A and B are shown apart, each in its own frame.
Chain A
Amino acid sequence: MMYWQSLADFLSMGGRGFFVWGSYGVAFLLVVLEIWLLRRSRRQSLRRLQQLQALERD
């Protein structure tokens, strides 16, 4: 089932590795970044909402 002969073969992508891996690499980074930003903004938002709640209670 495997198309490639070796790991080097796979990584070089027929000499077009820069373009193929540049595409997949940035896609992966952006997805990781978005997930991280989603978690961070949820934490920050909850902290802010908690402070607002405490202020409004007084």
Chain B
Amino acid sequence: MNIFRFSSPQTFYPLAGRLVPVFAVLAALFTAAGLWIGLFVAPSDAVQGEVYRIIHIHVAAAWMSMFIYMVMAFWAAIGLGLGTRLSFYMTQALAPTGAMFCFLALWTGALWGRPTWGAYWVWDARLTSQLLLLFLYAGFIALTRSIEDPRRADRAGAIIALVGAVNVPVIYFSVKWWNTLHQGASVNMKGSSMASVMLVAMLLTALGCWFYSIAASLTRARRIILERERHTDWAAAEIARLTAGPAGGGQ
């Protein structure tokens, strides 16, 4: 199988349509399993009591916010280098989901910081660089939507995605490079400092969020493909097929 075949919007569109329900089901199963273990099975933390249970969303959301930005930067580089339209569509399809997880990481962090540090917010290197990531997402979305010419919007967005990617390793290593209030990584390449049942719950939830992001961004990519490719024969036929019938604009 030639994977480059799927770099064409026409072949990618139906493939994405088949993958969305698969990833949506996987997302629901993994998140449900992770939350069940994390909220009902795992014991309380010796130091933090019950409030540590925020970790199951906090870490998953923070990982996704950084990972999605890196994937956007990857597609931006491919798009600028090879001029493939689909790569630009993917960066725009990923951004809102990445922004959502970035906000969620900050929100759950604030609600975890208050009972453990005594403050919702501190200007710590980890928190500040994560806030900058939210601004980068917001900047990307605002810029790509405000430029009228879609091909110029693609390029401008790709440049923000690439330049902003420098911030992601800064977030990740901030707890090592600076003396931060935020704790260091509990999970790294060498292993984990967490109890195994808590770790299993966190990893299941993180995988669930990962599958959710794939399903959400592929759904968004399908809409973008139809909008941008509407002058091609296949997309015009697909639009006519989807909007035909008495209901009009059905699924």
Interface residues in chain A, defined as those with a beta carbon under 8 Å from any beta carbon in chain B:
1-4, 10, 13-14, 16, 18-20, 22-24, 26-27, 30-31, 34-35, 37-38, 41-43, 45-47, 49-50, 52-53
Contacts and interface: CB of A to CB of B under 8 A. Distances in A.
A13 B29 CA distance: 24
A35 B149 CA distance: 28
Nearest to A46: B249
Nearest to A9: B50
A49 to B, nearest CB: 5
Contact of A30 (B39, B103, B112, B223): B103
A27 B50 contact: no
A46 B243 contact: yes
Residue with the greatest number of chain A CB neighbours at <10 A, chosen from B107, B242, B249? B249
Contacts of A49: 226-227, 230, 239, 243
Given A34-B97, A38-B216, A53-B236, A26 B104 contact: yes
A41 B230 CA distance: 16
Given A22-B111, A47-B249, A49-B230, 19 more contacts: A3-B42, A10-B39, A13-B53, A14-B44, A14-B51, A23-B57, A23-B111, A30-B103, A43-B249, A45-B226, A45-B227, A46-B242, A46-B249, A47-B248, A49-B227, A49-B239, A50-B243, A50-B249, A52-B230
A1 to B, nearest CB: 6
A27 B236 CA distance: 37
3 closest A-B pairs (Cβ-Cβ)?
A: A14-B50, A16-B51, A50-B243
Interface in B85-131: 96-97, 100, 103-104, 107-108, 111-112, 114-115
A37 B100 CA distance: 12
B219 interface: yes
Contacts of A16: 49-51, 115
Contacts of A18: 111
B57 A27 contact: yes
B230 A53 contact: yes
A20 B51 contact: yes
A3 B42 CA distance: 7
Given A13-B51, A46-B249, A23 B239 contact: no
A34 B216 contact: yes
Contacts of A45: 223, 226-227
Contacts of B53: 13, 20
Nearest to B51: A16
Contacts of A13: 50-51, 53
A4 B44 CA distance: 10
B41 A2 contact: yes
